[in-house]
């Protein structure tokens, strides 16, 4: 699975299948502070994701 | 996961009008947002209804208002501009350019483009033009939290340049407000909390005949001075909901964070609340709900303090509103916060200049 974490500009490749919530937990990211897209479509935390998906994790915190 | 609203409709095995959402749906749709679990269509309706409800319940705006949005090019103020335009309020936009390097020019680029595409009048006021230097330069050698200086100067300029309007709408959301409430609580500042809420400042039409300080503010507003009333239509929307709406509507904004934010007290409170929200969902909403319940009593309590000190406004530490002795803008004290900070910056610049001159002489 290709994962891009926007806040840190980090690209990862990980073997994972489960829900978005489980993925965020694994990456130690707070779901309150991010939105996730799967293959460029916004998805909820209960969405199932698998190895072939492209995941982007976007920070909701912005501005000043 | 499926959208809960779509499921309700499908579950009844027929196409029905959902009176809450005023929408028919015959397709199962995946949820794009959790808590509540909603598809793109229903999330959009849910979000827009939240804003409309806030405007209606708290009488924030009327179509007759001459309205300006304090805009930055960030997601909150841009979504606000988009929605207010969509709802028929005809807002203009006012932006403050602090000159923050690597940040402000990008957000303003997006804002200019958005306003052009949506036929919204945009005015930009810059620190450089108003104060002679940009924020980053002001901060050199100054031992101060950047947000304290920047916040005071932004508020000063927003108020000064919004006098031709009768309302300023800001993009403050539920996260912003819950952070402010907690920050003021921890600093034991009741008075600042009494000035929060979905609507702040004086509504001149409705408060005639109340205490001395309010009468003074009403008089100033009628003379084109004083504080312009501020409203927060996104008050009940979380930061996450605003971001989701931005993405779903394809509104082009800059998602960067101001480089000075990590140094701020607010950032610590924000992180603390987000951590707590994860383990105790509903925390931020509870803070707001509780605060709104006590706000009328808090305002009354702080207003009583204003009335008492209004009788002796030469008294030291009196909280009566009066013109700043330097710039003439409304102020709680003899000198307004903006002028105090500018004096600090000027003094710092003089010291730096004097130090440089001394160093030059030593070298010679």
pLDDT tens digits, B33-57: 988 889 999 999 999 999 999 999 9
**8 A C-beta contact, residue B39 and residue B5:** yes
Q: Looking at the complex, does the CB of residue B257 fall below 8 Å from at least one CB of chain A? A: yes
Residue A22 falls within a domain, yes or no?
A: yes
B156 and B17, same structural domain? no
Domain count of the fold of chain A: 1
Q: Is B49 a member of any domain?
A: no
State what percent of residues in chain B have pLDDT above 90. 41
- A47 interfacial to chain B (CB closer than 8 Å): yes
Q: What is the mean pLDDT of residues B297-326?
A: 62
Whether the pLDDT of residue B315 is over 50: the answer is no
Q: Which runs of consecutive H residues, i.e. helices, occur in chain B?
A: 4-11, 40-57, 75-86, 104-117, 127-131, 135-139, 146-160, 174-186, 190-194, 212-222, 239-249, 265-279, 283-310, 337-363
pLDDT in tens, B51-78: 999 999 999 999 999 999 999 999 999 9
Q: Let me know if residue A10 belongs to a domain.
A: yes
* In-domain check, residue A48: yes
Q: Is the pLDDT of residue B204 over 50?
A: no
Is it true that the peptide bond before B59 is cis, omega within 30 degrees of 0? no
Question: Which positions in chain A touch B248 (Cβ < 8 Å)?
Answer: 42
Are the Cβ atoms of B74 and A47 closer than 8 angstroms? no
Q: Identify the helix (H) or strand (E) that includes residue A42.
A: strand A41-43
| Shortest Cα distance, chain B CAs vs residue A61, angstroms | 7
SS3 of residue B167 by DSSP:
strand
Q: With 50 as the cut, is the pLDDT of residue B314 above it? A: no
Compute the nearest-CA separation of A13 from chain B (Å). 24
Residue B294 CA to residue B302 CA, distance in Å, equals: 12
Q: What is the per-residue pLDDT for B202?
A: 63
Which residue has better confidence, B139 or B332? B139
Of B1, B256, B270, the CB nearest to A46: B1
Under the banding of pLDDT at 50, 70 and 90, the label for residue B178 is very high
What pLDDT, on the 0 to 100 scale, is given for residue B299? 83
**What average pLDDT does chain B have?**
82
Note whether B255 contacts A59, CB cutoff 8 Å: yes
Angle among Cα B193, B196, B202 to the nearest 5 degrees reads: 120
Rounded distance, CA A38 to CA A44, Å?
Answer: 10
- From B243, B260, B278, residue closest to A64, measured CB to CB: B260
- pLDDT above 50 for B207: no
Contact at CB, B31 and A60, closer than 8 angstroms:
no
Among the partner residues A32, A35, A44, nearest to B1 by beta-carbon distance: A44
The confidence score (pLDDT) of residue B213 equals 60
Structural domain tally of chain B?
A: 2
CA distance B9 to B17: 8
Is B30–A59 a contact, with Cβ atoms under 8 angstroms apart? no
What is residue B67's three-state secondary structure? strand
Q: Phi/psi at B268 (nearest 5 deg)?
A: -65, -45
DSSP letter at A11 equals E
Q: Is residue B16 part of a domain?
A: yes
Q: Give the integer Cα–Cα distance in Å for B216 and B231.
A: 21
Maximum distance among all Cα pairs of chain A, rounded to whole angstroms: 36
Pairing mode, strands B67-70 and A54-59? unpaired
- Shortest Cα distance, chain A CAs vs residue B175, angstroms: 10
Q: Quick one: pLDDT at residue B16?
A: 43
Gap from A45 CA to chain B (nearest CA, Å): 6
Would you state the pLDDT for residue B137?
Answer: 84
Residue B13 has pLDDT above 50, yes or no: no
Task: Give the pairing of strands A54-59 and A34-38.
Answer: antiparallel
B11 shares its domain with B96: no
Report the Cα B194 to chain-centroid distance in Å: 15
Beta carbons within 8 Å of A14's beta carbon, 6+ residues apart: A1, A3
Strand partners, A59: A34
Cα–Cα distance measured from residue B240 to residue A27, given in angstroms and rounded to the nearest whole number: 19
**Who wins on pLDDT, A52 or B205?**
A52
With contacts defined as CB-CB under 8 Å, which chain A residues touch B275?
A: 30
The angle formed by the CA atoms of residues B102, B248 and B93, to the nearest 5 degrees, is 55
- From B44, B23, B22, select the one nearest B32 (Cα to Cα): B44
pTM: 0.83
B19 pLDDT above the threshold of 70: no
- Per the CB < 8 A criterion, the answer to whether B180 and B196 are in contact is yes
Least confident residue range of B22-31, B63-72, B127-136, B149-158: B22-31
The DSSP letter of residue B258 is P
Domain assignment of residue A64, yes or no: no
Q: Which of B8, B34, B21, B15 is nearest to B281 (CA)?
A: B34
| Per-residue tokens: B276 | 């707590």
Read off the pLDDT of residues B351-363 as tens digits, 9 standing for 90 and up: 766 766 666 666 5
B12 compared with B96, residue with greater pLDDT? B96
Confidence of residue A29 (pLDDT cuts 50, 70, 90): very high
Q: Which residue has the tokens 């992180």?
A: B271
B5–A contact, CB cutoff 8 A: no
Q: In this complex, is the C-beta atom of B250 within 8 Å of any C-beta atom belonging to chain A?
A: no
Half-sphere exposure of B11 (CA within 13 A, CB side): 8
Q: Tell me, yes or no, whether B37 and B88 share the same domain.
A: no
Is A15 part of the contact surface with chain B (CB cutoff 8 Å)?
no
Any A CB within 8 A of B355 CB: no
**CB pair distance less than 8 Å for B147 and A42:** no
Q: Are B76 and B253 in contact (CB under 8 A)?
A: no
Q: Using 50, 70 and 90 to split pLDDT, how confident is the model at A25?
A: very high
B33 contact residues in A (CB cutoff 8 A): 42, 44
Q: Identify whether residues B22 and B118 lie together within a single domain.
A: no
Residues B31 and B80 in one domain: no
Residue B146 is part of which domain span? Answer: 61-322
CATH number at residue A48: 3.10.20.30
- Is A40 contained in some domain? yes
Residue A55 has pLDDT above 90, yes or no: yes
Chain B residues close to A44, C-beta within 8 Å: 1, 30-34, 37
Catalogue the long-range contacts made by B258-264 (C-beta closer than 8 Å, 24 or more residues apart). B258/A63, B258/A64, B258/B100, B258/B103, B259/B100, B259/B101, B259/B102, B259/B103, B260/A64, B260/B100, B260/B146, B260/B147, B260/B150, B261/A64, B261/B147, B263/B145, B263/B146, B263/B147, B264/B145, B264/B146, B264/B147
Min distance A30 CA to chain B CA atoms (Å): 7
Chain A residues whose CB is inside 8 A of the B258 CB are: 63-64
Contact flag B31-A33 (C-beta cutoff 8 Å) = no
Compute the distance between CA of residue A44 and CA of residue B348 in angstroms, rounded to an integer: 50
CA nearest B348: which of B356, B359, B358? B356
pLDDT tens digits for range B232-245: 999 999 999 999 99
What integer pLDDT is reported at residue B217 of this predicted model? 62
* Judgement on whether residues B146 and B111 belong to the same structural domain of the protein: yes
**A9 contact B CB<8A:** no
Going by C-alpha positions, the residue among B47, B113, B69 that lies closest to residue B254 is B113
Split at pLDDT 50, 70, 90, the class of B252 is confident
Based on the fold, state whether residues B16 and B70 are members of the same structural domain: no
Q: What is the ipTM of this complex?
A: 0.95
Domain region containing A29: 2-59
Number of A–B residue contacts, CB under 8 Å: 77
Quick count: other Cβ atoms within 10 Å of Cβ B212? Answer: 17
pLDDT of the residue at B170: 96
B135 with B278, same domain: the answer is yes
Instruction: State the average pLDDT over residues A2-20.
Output: 91
């Amino acid at each position: 699975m290709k994962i891009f974490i926007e806040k840190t500009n980090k690209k990862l490749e990980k073997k994972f299948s489960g829900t978005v919530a489980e993925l965020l937990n694994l990456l130690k990211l707070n779901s309150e502070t991010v939105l996730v897209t799967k293959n460029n479509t916004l998805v909820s935390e209960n969405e199932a994701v698998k190895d072939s998906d492209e995941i982007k994790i976007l920070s909701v915190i912005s501005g000043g | 996961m499926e959208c809960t609203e779509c499921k309700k409709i499908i579950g009844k095995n027929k196409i029905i009008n959902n009176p809450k959402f005023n929408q028919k749906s015959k397709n199962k749709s995946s949820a794009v947002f959790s808590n509540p679990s909603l598809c793109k269509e229903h999330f959009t309706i849910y979000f827009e209804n939240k804003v409309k409800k806030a405007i209606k319940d708290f009488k924030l705006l009327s179509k007759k208002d001459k309205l300006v949005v304090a805009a930055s090019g960030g997601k909150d103020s841009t979504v606000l501009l988009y929605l207010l335009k969509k709802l028929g309020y005809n807002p203009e936009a006012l932006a403050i350019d602090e000159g923050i390097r690597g940040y402000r020019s990008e957000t303003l680029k997006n804002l200019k483009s958005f306003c052009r595409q949506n036929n919204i009048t945009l005015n930009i006021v810059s620190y450089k033009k108003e104060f002679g230097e940009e924020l980053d330069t002001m901060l050199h050698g100054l031992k101060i939290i950047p947000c304290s200086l920047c916040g005071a100067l932004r508020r000063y300029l927003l108020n000064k340049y919004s006098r031709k309007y009768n309302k300023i709408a800001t993009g403050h959301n539920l996260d912003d407000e819950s952070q402010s409430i907690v920050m003021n609580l921890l600093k034991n500042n009741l008075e600042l909390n009494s000035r929060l809420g979905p609507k702040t400042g004086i509504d001149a039409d409705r408060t005639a005949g109340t205490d001395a300080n309010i009468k003074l503010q009403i008089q100033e507003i009628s003379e084109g001075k004083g504080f312009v009333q501020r409203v927060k239509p996104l008050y009940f929307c979380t930061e996450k909901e605003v971001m989701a709406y931005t993405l779903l509507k394809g509104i082009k904004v800059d998602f960067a964070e101001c480089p000075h934010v990590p140094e701020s007290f607010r950032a610590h409170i924000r992180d603390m609340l987000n951590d707590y929200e994860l383990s105790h969902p509903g925390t931020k909403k509870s803070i707001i709900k509780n605060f709104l319940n006590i706000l009328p009593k808090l305002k009354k309590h702080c207003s009583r303090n204003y009335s008492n000190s209004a009788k002796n406004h030469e008294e030291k530490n009196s909280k009566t509103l009066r013109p700043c002795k330097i710039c003439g803008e409304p102020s709680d004290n003899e000198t307004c916060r903006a002028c105090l900070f500018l004096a600090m910056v000027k003094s710092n610049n003089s010291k730096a200049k004097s130090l440089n001159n001394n160093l030059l002489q030593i070298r010679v």
